[in-house]
Chain A
Amino acid sequence: MTGISVLAFSTSENPLRALKCRQRIHLLQYLKDLGAETVVVEPEYFDRDYLAEFSAFYGVSAKQYPNTCARLHFFSSAFTTRELLLTAGGDQEWTEKLQQSYLGFSILRPVPYCELGRTVLQWYPDLTPTLPRRTDPSRVYRAHFLGLELSVEGLAWQQQDTRVASCATTALWSLLQSSALDEFHAVPSTVAITQAAHRTASYGARVFPSAGLTPEQICESIKECGLGPELFRGEVRMGDFSRQRFSTICASLIRSGYPCVLVGNLEGGVMPAHASHAMTCNGFREIGAWSVPAETVKFLDEQIEYLYIHDDNIGPSVRFRIMLDESDSEVALAHSSGVREVAASVVLRPSRPEYLGEQRDVEHPAKRFTCFRPEVVIAALPEGIRTSISQLLFLGHEEAEALLLDVNAIRRQKNRPAWGFGISAQFMNTAKYTGELLANQLSEDSPRLSTLRWSLAKDVPRMSQFLGVIRISLFGAPALDLLCDTTDSDHRLSIFATVLFHRGLGNLVLRLIKNDRLELGAVIRAYPTETNPATQL
């Protein structure tokens, strides 16, 4: 038995290169893009997930599978066994160097064709920080060996192993790793997820080998984990999604820290008809404020362009572009006839960032299909959140529209051009809203921040643990936040408080409330007023 070894990433001895699965191509490319120089191999590693799989399936196989895995650590710095030994001896310089250049790890299971177990890799560098890649579900994973503690931020991915976990199980396993769910459950193994799905909704199918899960079984498994499932279906023809509904729901969930499982069909390439598939959306790219037409209320996120997806067929953090199905003849016919607008279906296409160059490897798993057509979006929320993100967006649209009608009527009386509002919504821990969010937005105005927080505590003493935050924007800037109670049902969704950021609109909102045109809960001004330079409480 050999011990820990240190190899150059580019060498043919790199164990990643010897794998038989297609996903190795994506991992090798991804790590090369991150500048991987060195791989450290731990040949014997007990992995919690594989041990669960071993106990449920492999341990009683006549093939005598081993119960240990290997673990690979990837680094962007070049070093040899000598430097690693220095680090093990406490050398400060090399310890820091290894920590700073750590790119993540991958577990190798002793199972041919399904070797890639739990894998966490660093994200690509974010090149547009003003419109960042939103990766709120990510968490910090810590790896220990030789007395070292190395950390990487991401969301765990693994290859599907159909004996114990279908693509749906694997996607749900990644979803349940979200940092936003930390307080509410222990992350289950793929085996536990598959078993949980069959506990109450087996439909007569055997548990192992796993034949896959239906959307309802995914929801049952989420409930068994002590969380609340949220399922959203497409609303246009044949159960497809419109861009507006799909993009807005996905972005709102990710902003809230909740990844979502996308269930749908792979199309084109070598895929057979009706190739059902599930994968985990764990990030998206923010889009700049876009021009909202006057007299309208638009969802900011309906125009997002990119999602980041863990696809067990391809690899972790694959960028997909959100596109409209141009081949839809019904849409083309309706548009050409001009009778009425018909929403086109949304499809997702793998889209490698341009600056990394074209994907030329014809064997790359992303080239096996042309698009993924989502039909169902599933999320897992803490049970304390009893309202759906779609209802929150619905309420936001209603309130914004009511306000906009009055605002524009007044602006017309003053011969001013009409406005349009943008809206966006997310669930947020109340502590995060009053802490991080308000601090980021009023960081340069300590008195305003202080009085705003004080006022929220005074005027809204019983806020729920989680808020539904609806943000209404004017010309791309925050105009006001509606803070909603999440502890009641969709039909009783109510507004705790309204925080006004925009002075002109704020003055008008206050007069509309005084004249009984609006009901927005406790109203708090977050802008300086004439009577109080800091703020008016």
Chain B
Amino acid sequence: MPSPPDETKQKDNSAGYNMWTLPSELWPDTELDLLDSDELDDLIRNLPPRLAGDPEARAALAEQPHPDVMRRPL
């Protein structure tokens, strides 16, 4: 098994792959492996209540109302 790739190197994407084309042997693993379930549960219990996300980032994908009001489905 190859060793987990360095995060900085992956950001460079020198191999020229993306999430649909990356061979499975190059998938990274991370230090979160080292946390056991009890420790994770403690950390999760300390999380703040869920906040609303970034609406502007999603706005481009939201369907817009038809510009012609006469053709706008009601």
> How far, in whole Å, are A262 and B21 apart by their CA atoms in the complex?
27
* Interchain CB contact (< 8 A) of B18 among A249, A300, A503: A300
Closest 8 CB pairs between A and B? A504-B32, A473-B19, A401-B53, A504-B30, A475-B10, A245-B60, A511-B40, A288-B13
The contact string, 1 if C-beta is below 8 Å from chain A, for chain B 7-29, is 10011010111111110111111
The contact string, 1 if C-beta is below 8 Å from chain B, for chain A 384-398, is 000010110110011
**B46 CB within 8 Å of chain A:** yes
Interface size on B, residues (CB 8 A): 48
Q: Which residues of B sit under 8 angstroms from A406, Cβ to Cβ? A: 44, 47
Given contacts A131-B18, A288-B18, A504-B31, contact A515 B44 (CB under 8 A): yes
CB distance from A194 to the nearest CB of B (A): 22
CB distance from A118 to the nearest CB of B (A): 31
Chain A 20-47 interface residues, beta-carbon cutoff 8 Å to B: none
CB distance from B16 to the nearest CB of A (A): 5
**A88 CB within 8 Å of chain B:** no
* Interchain CB contact (< 8 A) of B61 among A132, A393, A515: A393
* Residue of A whose beta carbon sits closest to that of B32: A504
Given contacts A398-B58, A405-B50, A503-B29, contact A128 B44 (CB under 8 A): no
**A502 CB within 8 Å of chain B:** yes
The contact string, 1 if C-beta is below 8 Å from chain B, for chain A 408-430, is 01110110100000101000000
**A101 CB within 8 Å of chain B:** no
> How far, in whole Å, are A409 and B46 apart by their CA atoms in the complex?
9
Given contacts A504-B32, A507-B40, contact A402 B17 (CB under 8 A): no
> How far, in whole Å, are A59 and B24 apart by their CA atoms in the complex?
59
* Interchain CB contact (< 8 A) of B44 among A296, A410, A422: A410
* Interchain CB contact (< 8 A) of A424 among B11, B20, B54: B20
CB distance from A484 to the nearest CB of B (A): 15
Chain A 323-381 interface residues, beta-carbon cutoff 8 Å to B: 343
Q: Which residues of A sit under 8 angstroms from B41, Cβ to Cβ? A: 511, 514-515
Decide: A286 and B21 in contact? CB cutoff 8 A: yes
> How far, in whole Å, are A259 and B68 apart by their CA atoms in the complex?
26
Interface size range of chain A in the complex: 35 or more
Q: Which of A305-313, A440-448, A455-463 contacts the other chain?
A: A440-448
CB distance from B30 to the nearest CB of A (A): 4
Decide: B45 and A515 in contact? CB cutoff 8 A: yes
From DSSP, what is the main secondary structure of chain B's interface residues? loop
Decide: A502 and B28 in contact? CB cutoff 8 A: yes
* Interchain CB contact (< 8 A) of A477 among B28, B32, B50: B28
CB distance from A376 to the nearest CB of B (A): 11
* Interchain CB contact (< 8 A) of A503 among B33, B40, B66: B33
**B69 CB within 8 Å of chain A:** no
Decide: A512 and B44 in contact? CB cutoff 8 A: yes
From DSSP, what is the main secondary structure of chain A's interface residues? mixed
Given contacts A130-B21, A233-B67, A504-B33, 4 further A-B contacts (CB under 8 A): A130-B17, A391-B63, A402-B50, A478-B27
Q: Which residues of A sit under 8 angstroms from B57, Cβ to Cβ? A: 296-297, 397, 401
> How far, in whole Å, are A399 and B34 apart by their CA atoms in the complex?
25
* Chain A contacts to B: CB under 8 angstroms: 128, 130-132, 216, 232-233, 235, 239, 242, 244-245, 248-249, 255, 286-291, 296-297, 299-300, 343, 388, 390-391, 393-394, 397-398, 401-402, 405-406, 409-411, 413-414, 416, 422, 424, 441-445, 471, 473-478, 501-505, 507-508, 511-512, 514-515, 517
> How far, in whole Å, are A398 and B13 apart by their CA atoms in the complex?
26
Given contacts A402-B53, A406-B47, A502-B28, contact A289 B17 (CB under 8 A): yes
Decide: B27 and A233 in contact? CB cutoff 8 A: no
CB distance from A475 to the nearest CB of B (A): 4
CB distance from B19 to the nearest CB of A (A): 4
Decide: A132 and B40 in contact? CB cutoff 8 A: no
Decide: A444 and B24 in contact? CB cutoff 8 A: yes
CB distance from A74 to the nearest CB of B (A): 31
**B3 CB within 8 Å of chain A:** no
> How far, in whole Å, are A409 and B51 apart by their CA atoms in the complex?
12
13 A-B residue contacts at CB 8 Å? Answer: A131-B18, A216-B71, A248-B61, A286-B21, A297-B57, A401-B53, A405-B50, A476-B10, A504-B30, A504-B33, A505-B32, A508-B35, A517-B44
Decide: A441 and B24 in contact? CB cutoff 8 A: yes
Q: Name the residue among B17, B21, B26, B51 with the largest chain A CB count within 10 angstroms.
A: B21
* Interchain CB contact (< 8 A) of A132 among B21, B33, B50: B21
**B70 CB within 8 Å of chain A:** no
CB distance from A22 to the nearest CB of B (A): 34
Decide: B43 and A413 in contact? CB cutoff 8 A: yes
Given contacts A442-B24, A515-B41, contact A130 B16 (CB under 8 A): yes
**B74 CB within 8 Å of chain A:** no
CB distance from B51 to the nearest CB of A (A): 7
CB distance from A442 to the nearest CB of B (A): 6
Given contacts A476-B18, A511-B40, contact A388 B63 (CB under 8 A): yes
